[in-house]
Copies of this chain bind each other. A is one copy, B any other.
Amino acid sequence: MSTQAQSQIKYFWEDLPVGKTLDIGSITVDHDEVIAFATKYDPQPFHLNEEAAAKSMFGKLSASGWHTCAMAMGLMVRGFLHESSSLGSPGLEAVKWLKPVYPGDTLTLKQRIVEARPMKSRPDVGLTRTLWEMFNQHGDQVLMMDGYGMFRRRTPAGSDEPKASE
Which positions in A face B, CB cutoff 8 Å? 1, 37, 40-44, 55, 57, 64-66, 69-71, 73-74, 77-78, 81-82, 86-97, 144, 147
Contact A65 B42 (CB under 8 A): no
| Nearest neighbor of A69 in chain B, beta-carbon distance | B66
Residue contact B97 to A43, C-beta cutoff 8 Å: no
Contact A77–B40 (Cβ < 8 Å): no
Complex Cα–Cα for A23 and B102 (A): 32
Contacts of A40 in B (CB 8 A): 70, 74
CB-contact partner of A92 in B37, B70, B94, under 8 A: B94
B44 with A74: CB separation less than 8 A = no
Cβ contact within 8 Å between B41 and A88: no
> A74–B36 Cα gap in the complex (Å)?
13
With contacts A91-B96, A94-B91, A96-B90 taken as known, whether A77 is within 8 angstroms of B1 at the C-beta atoms is no
Which B residues are CB-close (under 8 A) to A43? Answer: 74, 77-78
23 contacts between A and B (CB under 8 A): A37-B70, A40-B74, A41-B71, A41-B73, A41-B74, A42-B70, A42-B73, A42-B74, A44-B77, A44-B81, A44-B86, A57-B87, A57-B88, A65-B89, A66-B66, A66-B70, A88-B97, A90-B97, A91-B94, A91-B96, A92-B94, A92-B96, A94-B94
